[in-house]
Amino acid sequence: MPFKVDPEVHSILTKLTGGKHGEKLPIGDITSRREATTKAGLALFSHLPTHPEVEIKDFHTTAQDGTSILLRWYAKKDSPTSPGPAVLFIHGGGMIIGHVPMFDRSLGVYVSASGVPFLSVEYRLAPEAQYPVPIEDIYAGLTWLHEHAAELGVNPKRIAVMGESAGGGLAAAVTLLARERSGPPVAKQILVYPMLDDRTVEEDPNLSEFLIWTAADNITSWGAMLGPLYGTEKVPETAAAARISDPKGLPPTYIEVGELDLFRDEDIGFAGRLWKAGISTELHVRRGCMHAFDILAAESAVAQRAMLDRCASIASIEEVE
């Protein structure tokens, strides 16, 4: 039986788009991608509920090169006083799009539902900032969260990293960087349809009609991020986590991806490598779902199930050994 979109997701998307597919942009056109994705993202996130019980506070840290980096803290007003878990969050956008405030409502949903506070990092975007700058920005955020854990009511042994799409790939990369440097411990990585492999440059013809994020988008974004490294075998695993040579020592992992997503095979493959290394890994492949299905059709039953699974994973962050 051929692939088809989840019926409820399909119905919501048809109402949203009138049945029209988005414009396919040529490789390398970053400006048009930024304009189109920012406009669509702001419109979609504006439909999410607000959560006045979630307070937002802004902090700053200094990146490796001396640049000031925004860190936005989201926590429920009635948060427990005893130290608990926290999540370092990295937003999506192909590493070329997005800013922390754009995701305020989305993170409010997570914090309200899970009761776990989040810290979101305003990492610099490619191509203006290429590897390793965005990874170093995120690592600075991870370090800051560990250093300020006590004043934020956080157990430093229960800090997870989480990201969606490109943010998921960056979360996996910064976890590898922390392991490489014997840096701040990461208790868990929560990777939502993560962008892990710069070598994904072709589309499965069975998926092409469903792709929200295409091979052309992927080539554009990885090229922007990696610059002269792109297309070579010199790309390090701390840039593209699918290139990992040895997963041993990584924390428990949650991975989720849609059946109709360009990243499906690289995400399943990454989970398989973690299992073979003895890393406890929870994998969900959402039938009939494309990339960003939960944002495009947030009210659908499959998106609600995904949110429940993610929040359960967030709430169950255990102490790193």
Backbone angles phi, psi at 152, to 5 degrees: -95, 0
291 catalytic? Reply is yes
Nearest to 94 by CA among 234, 265, 212: 212
CA–CA separation, 160 and 268 (whole Å): 21
> To which residue do tokens 């990885």 refer?
222
165 catalytic? Reply is yes
Is residue 44 exposed (0-12), middle (13-18) or buried (19+ Cβ within 10 Å)?
middle
Pick the catalytic residue: 51, 91, 146, 291? 291
261 catalytic? Reply is yes
Distances (CA, A) of 100 to 49, 59, 71, 111: 17, 12, 8, 15
Pick the catalytic residue: 79, 114, 165, 221? 165
Q: How many CA atoms lie within 13 A of 136 on its CB side?
A: 12
CB count within 10 Å of CB 245 equals: 7
CA–CA separation, 171 and 161 (whole Å): 6
Pick the catalytic residue: 137, 217, 261, 294? 261
Q: How many CA atoms lie within 13 A of 85 on its CB side?
A: 26
Q: Which residues are catalytic?
A: 165, 261, 291
